[in-house]
Amino acid sequence: MPRPTQKSTQRPTQAELTRNADERAQQVYRAHARGLNFKKIGAEFGISRSRARQLTKRGQDLLRRKDNPLNELSTRVRNVLYDNKCGQTPEEISQWFAAQPLRHLRTIVNFGAGSQKELSCWLARHGQQPLKEA
């Protein structure tokens, strides 16, 4: 008797599910930006008006986050930047850190070697001078 073939039922990873949900939310937001109302969006995507409204809000939030380069940083590093009023742009942040003595950088709470390395790489990606070695 032949063995039944096994189905390849590999489930998508959490990252894939999140990425797909984020893409869908952005598509719904773009449809709303084109002038479609929630009822028409719901019909187009096969969702309720209420869900269309929720996804529109999520898509808008996602696109706003992408526009802010600080959102590439971990929450820990962002909190250090906000707490120390370092600025909002890579240029301002780079200038603030360049003006600080090394001994001051060592005293910043929650800003250890890992956080410094993360911020240095982020500054370099944005065309700024990496942090001084502390």
41, 32 in Cβ contact below 8 A?
yes
pLDDT value for 14: 81
42-76 pLDDT, tens per residue? 999 999 999 999 999 988 888 777 778 888 888 89
Residue 110: what residue type?
A: N
Of the residues 22, 49, 67, which one is the last residue of a structural domain? 67
Q: Is there a single domain that holds both residue 50 and residue 78? A: no
59, 26 in Cβ contact below 8 A?
yes
- Note the pTM of the prediction, 2 decimals: 0.53
7 in a structural domain = no
Label residue 7 by pLDDT band (50, 70, 90). low
pLDDT value for 103: 80
Angle between helices 49-67 and 14-33 (to 10 degrees): 100
Share of the chain above pLDDT 70, in %: 92
4 in a structural domain = no
Q: Residue 87 is part of which domain span?
A: 71-125
8 in a structural domain = no
2 in a structural domain = no
Please tell me the distance from the alpha carbon of residue 62 to that of residue 58, in angstroms, as a whole number: 6
pLDDT value for 102: 76
Q: Is there a single domain that holds both residue 62 and residue 28? A: yes
Q: Is there a single domain that holds both residue 77 and residue 118? A: yes
Please tell me the distance from the alpha carbon of residue 63 to that of residue 50, in angstroms, as a whole number: 20
